[in-house]
Chains A and B, each alone.
Chain A
Amino acid sequence: MTPGLIGAPLNVAQLYLDGVCRSFDGFKAINGLSLAVEKGELRAVIGPNGAGKTTMMDIITGKTRPDEGKVVWNGDTDLTRIDEAGVARLGIGRKFQKPTVFETHSVEDNIRLALKAPRGVFPVLFDRRSAEENRRVTEYLDRIRLTHLRAETAANLSHGQKQWLEIGMLLAQEPQLLLVDEPAAGMTDAETMETAELLKSIAGERTVIVVEHDMDFVRALNCRVTVLHQGSVLAEGSLDHVSAREDVIEVYLGR
């Protein structure tokens, strides 16, 4: 599938959502959402349940097609016309809310499958494991601190370890943009802080969008925050800025 081209160059934003709408059975999950994220930025997206955070991720990654609007990637590609695999190949990685790893594969194989490499059937079929590949696998395993569990079947990992493994797979993809859905869910406080540090270290080199509920975690990220409400942007700015706004407080505490 060829990426759709868009006329006006938008050099500023790496990812630009323009007036995106999507409804399910009359319920508007996303309603005129516009959002721009710059290259190398770390962005937190918060909002109450049903604000449209997951649907937004689905639209960016090609899982769900919007009814209206565009999602512009690097100023020239319309992501709404590309399927999940195509979006991933463009350099957008996604981590699910519920940790999703290949349970019957070993930890090492999980990372290996994620490593940036050709994804076509035949190159993959005839792929031979190289020393270089092993080195990269080890590098990512070190980074997520699972080196000692290299040969373990992923199904035997703890919940937190699976979260880490999935983040490792995301890194191994070497994406330009990481979409991370509630990474701290089910983690201990210490793990949560470690995760925040990891994401912060990734940002700069790569763009990171984190969807999160946990305010402590968002505070630890110390980044620009976008508040979603009923499918569109309610407020944007630093956490202190947005949490001072009355409408935000009302949305969060009013119900």
Chain B
Amino acid sequence: MTRLIDLRLGLFLAALFAVTVLAPLATTLPSTSALNLPSYLIPLMGKYLCYALLAVALDLCWGYAGILSLGHGAFFALGGYAMGMHLMREIGARGVYANPELPDFMVFLGWTELPWFWYGFDMFWFAAVMALAVPGLLAFVFGWFAFRSRVSGVYLSIITQALTFALLLAFFRNDMGFGGNNGLTDFRDVLGFSLSAPSTRIALFVLTAVALAGCMLLARAITISKAGKVLVAVRDAESRTRFLGYRVESYSVFVFTVSAMMAGLAGALYVPQVGIINPGEFAPANSIEIVVWVALGGRGTLVGAAIGALVVVALKSWLTATFPDLWLFALGGLFILVTLALPNGLLGLVDRLKPRKAKPATEVPA
């Protein structure tokens, strides 16, 4: 019987719990203390956790079902936009143009009415539902068409990339009504709490950690269920699965949709902590970068994906600040290193170093 929380997941969740408790405490220490954590680092850590959640989402569909989406950034961004739209509405009359109804950029464009698709976003619960529903629905419709036509492998990767590219172009347009080039920003508060208040920041950070833990448990529950075994079966021998009577497309659509909703959740948590969402999040390069997080950590491990995201993003923060020219060399080299030398990622490496763990979670053929 496979346990929901195995050693690896347990260790990761424990570490996550420790950080979630200790980091906010550390910000309350006097600034002279060596253990003091400047409070501006809290949203940064929250951002990292959002990326980890995004990586877990991608690992669920790539690592377990073999669906390499090169468009997961799109689901992330859509979730982000849904939350961003709510935060824009919350600004209310405090904007530059002091229009109680319209966000600044609409006033600037000379619009007089709120477009219909902005209705309802003044309510938090609606935005929260939309942050999951919009990516979920897009993934469902897209997946339903794609998987039913048996588009798979690299073809699927290419059209998911085309999808995010099309969205990138669309969101750049001013007349789409999402703030065009500049996106949505200048947020003030959420549910009445100021976004710049340390307490709000801590709350958002804790919420993100809870969401990450929850999604990892959910993803783990799915993968160890019989349906999870069907997904791996699809990845390994698709036609065998079909001849056993499983409708592969239903399983693929299911996992793709769940994964997209997780990505949307990550985006929705990301926006209030970062303070901006713009069309750049749809850039195909972003989506491909998510893949390297998962590949580096070890695909098909969930914990590895989260660790991979944290490692790469931390590396990026450090390199872009100290040696900006080196960042792309490092990222490119990482891609090559992982594909050539670490097919099972960092966790695979750990498993190899500890031979007593004879059975790696997955031995992944392409």
Contact = CB atoms under 8 A, between A and B. Distances in A.
**Do A and B share a direct contact in the complex (Cβ within 8 angstroms)?**
yes
Interface of A: 61, 63, 83-85, 88-89, 93-94, 96, 100-105, 109, 112-114, 119-121, 124-127, 129, 153, 155, 169, 173
A124 B242 contact: no
Contact of A121 (B227, B232, B239, B242): B227
15 contacts: A83-B242, A83-B247, A85-B242, A85-B248, A89-B245, A102-B240, A103-B237, A103-B363, A113-B241, A113-B246, A120-B250, A124-B230, A124-B246, A125-B254, A173-B245
Residue among B225, B236, B254 facing the most chain A CB atoms (10 A cut-off): B236
A114 B245 CA distance: 9
A84 B242 contact: yes
A88 B248 CA distance: 13
B244 A121 contact: no
A209 to B, nearest CB: 14
A119 B225 contact: no
A137 to B, nearest CB: 12
Contacts of B233: 102, 105, 113
B342 to A, nearest CB: 19
Nearest to B242: A84
Contacts of A102: 229, 232-233, 236-237, 240-241
Contact of B243 (A94, A104, A125): A94
B225 A169 contact: no
Given A88-B244, A96-B240, A126-B225, 12 more contacts: A83-B247, A84-B243, A102-B229, A105-B236, A113-B246, A119-B244, A119-B246, A119-B247, A120-B247, A125-B225, A127-B225, A129-B1
> Which 3 pairs between the two chains have the least Cβ-Cβ distance?
A88-B245, A84-B242, A125-B227
**What does DSSP make chain B's interface, helix, strand, loop or mixed?**
helix
Given A102-B232, A113-B230, A119-B245, A84 B363 contact: no
B243 A93 contact: yes
B244 A173 contact: yes
Contacts of B229: 102, 105, 109, 112-113
A153 B254 CA distance: 26
Residue among B232, B242, B254 facing the most chain A CB atoms (10 A cut-off): B242
Nearest to B243: A94
Nearest to B255: A121
A121 B254 contact: yes
Contacts of B359: 153
A245 to B, nearest CB: 34
Interface string B206-242: 0000000000000000100111011011001101111
Nearest to A84: B242
Contacts of A126: 225
Nearest to A119: B245
Contacts of B251: 121
Given A113-B230, A124-B226, A125-B225, A104 B236 contact: yes
Given A89-B245, A173-B245, A125 B226 contact: yes
B237 A100 contact: yes
Nearest to B300: A104
A85 B245 contact: yes
A187 B225 CA distance: 34
Contacts of A124: 225-227, 230, 246
Contacts of B365: 103
Contacts of A173: 244-245
Contact of B240 (A89, A101, A129): A101
A100 B240 contact: yes
B232 A104 contact: yes
B362 interface: yes
Contacts of A61: 243
Given A120-B250, A121-B251, A88 B242 contact: yes
A100 B250 CA distance: 22
Residue among A61, A63, A100, A124 facing the most chain B CB atoms (10 A cut-off): A124
Contacts of A103: 236-237, 363, 365
A193 to B, nearest CB: 26
Contacts of B241: 102, 113
Contacts of A113: 226, 229-230, 233, 241, 244, 246
A93 B236 CA distance: 19
Contacts of A105: 229, 232-233, 236
A211 to B, nearest CB: 15
A113 B231 CA distance: 11
A155 B363 contact: yes
